[in-house]
Amino acid sequence: MSKSKKELILESTTLWDFPTQNYGDKPHGNNKYNGVTPAFVIWNLLQRYTKEYDLVVDPMCGSGTTIDVAKEINRRVIGYDLNVVRPDVIKNDARKIPLDDNSVDFVFIDSPYSNNIKYSDDPNCIGKISCEKTEFFDELEKVAKEIERILKPNKVVAWLIGDQWIKKKFTPTGFLLYQRVEKYFEPIDIICVTRHNQTSNTGVWHNRARKFNFYLRGFKYLFIMQKNKTTRQKNGT
């Protein structure tokens, strides 16, 4: 077993800090892709909430990090995205997932958290809507409802999202999203995932933040939630 394999240890706290996008000797997704997810986030989640041959779904899989991690540890996996960059990604809108009710063992989603990154040229992309608009959360709630539909009872979804500070205005995107998704799922925990490699992580931007009295975004929320009877009854389903 290589040294990199031996270092794969489950996180034990609610603060996850992964300085690089990848782990080990093989690539997982593409670290140059806009908004790419750290592969070790997905590895930790799959180790805790799935077993071999479980079906994992990523409705917004981007460069395919979830696909690569899942296959490496013997999970079945389906990745969808409006922006298809590799042949094993299926073009699809996350608001209508072509899978049966109660058929999926785990869902991971790293959704847009505003319109600050170009995710896709597709006009239906939720990432073209500002998180300052109610419409943004209306559309993400449709995704949440669809995830609840395809998940098996008592199975888990993990949702990664960040806040926005732009033009002297802060939008608590994570809190506003949580208010929507709690209609469909019960909370298990909330993880704080440290952000690295964003364009604002430079000396110039750190100096600006101190000079003009604002904060750079240092983390994303990782909401870990479960589908169960309580949320289904609360949502009238």
CA–CA–CA angle 75, 177, 206 (5° rounding):
95
Q: Which of 174, 171, 155, 163 is nearest to 108 (CA)?
A: 155
What are the C-alpha distances in Å from 236 to residues 70, 107, 163, 186, 228?
33, 22, 30, 15, 13
Distance CA 83, CA 121 (A): 7
* 162 and 194 Cβ atoms separated by less than 8 Å: no
Q: Each residue's pLDDT tens digit in the chain (237 positions)?
A: 343 445 789 999 999 999 888 888 888 987 777 778 999 999 999 999 999 999 999 999 999 999 999 999 999 999 999 999 999 999 999 999 999 999 999 999 999 999 988 888 889 999 999 999 999 999 999 999 999 999 999 999 999 999 999 888 999 999 999 999 999 999 999 999 998 876 667 788 789 889 888 888 899 999 999 998 665 555 655
Phi and psi, residue 58, nearest 5°:
-125, 105
Residue 4: the pLDDT is 45
Residue 75: the pLDDT is 98
The string of DSSP letters for 93-132 reads -TTS--S-TT-EEEEEEE---SSSS---S-TT-GGGS-TT
Tokens representing 180 are: 């929507």
Distance CA 149, CA 28 (A): 28
Residue 206: the pLDDT is 87
With 0-12 / 13-18 / 19 or more C-beta atoms within 10 angstroms meaning exposed / middle / buried, residue 136 is buried
- Sketch out the chain's domains with CATH numbers: 3-234 (3.40.50.150)
pTM assigned to the model: 0.90
* 127 and 176 Cβ atoms separated by less than 8 Å: no
Residue 36: the pLDDT is 83
How many Cα atoms sit within 13 Å of 135 on the Cβ side?
9
SS3 153: strand
Dump strand ranges (E) for 101-230. Answer: 104-110, 151-161, 164-166, 169-171, 186-194, 219-226
Distance CA 181, CA 142 (A): 9
Distance CA 40, CA 37 (A): 9
Residue 33: the pLDDT is 79
